[in-house]
Amino acid sequence: MKQYWLMKSEPDEVSIDDLMAAPKHTMPWFGVRNYQARNFMRDGMQPGDGVLFYHSSCPQPGVAGVAEVASGAYPDHSQFEEGGKYFDPKATPEQPRWISVDVLGVKKTALLPLSEMRQMPELEDMLLLKKGSRLSITPVTPAQWKVITSRLKA
């Protein structure tokens, strides 16, 4: 059964424009260093699942496009890059700690700002909007997906 996710990215690191410009509009989703978000990728995500591509840690955060999960989970290569931003000295190729999935850009949309999402009563239970929620990947219900995608404009 198809599932839906919200995946946050800082646009100065990877933006919806970067995803849409990538070969075949596909990129690995790397650098997740939270166990709960990792577990969502490892245990929950399946190719074909819907993704709300969310720009975070920027002047106007919000949903910037629609994507889909394009691969199953595999070890995140960045955990092995000594000196890299996401290097993890405890990770080994035999026992990786961190996971990636490939994400396929479906379409860039006009930004649906977080401030507008907060005003939508249909989204009051959305994990993104819960006080203290900082996860980079969260599940989205089918009803939330429908409400948000119906508001997204090209």
83 belongs to a structural domain: yes
pLDDT digits (tens, 9 = 90+) for 78-135: 999 999 999 999 999 999 999 999 999 999 999 999 999 999 999 999 999 998 888 9
At 89 the pLDDT is: 96
CATH number at residue 100: 3.10.590.10
pLDDT tops 80 at residue 154: no
At 57 the pLDDT is: 94
Of the candidates 66, 90, 61, which has an alpha carbon nearest to the alpha carbon of residue 152? 66
56 belongs to a structural domain: yes
Provide the token pair at 145.
């997906």
Work out how many domains the chain is built from and give that number: 1
148 belongs to a structural domain: no
SS3 104: strand
Cβ(105)–Cβ(22) below 8 Å = yes
Provide the token pair at 114.
């977080």
pLDDT digits (tens, 9 = 90+) for 1-31: 899 999 999 999 999 999 999 999 999 999 9
- What backbone torsions phi and psi does residue 90 show, to the nearest 5 degrees? -85, -10
At 132 the pLDDT is: 84
Cβ(3)–Cβ(46) below 8 Å = yes
113 belongs to a structural domain: yes
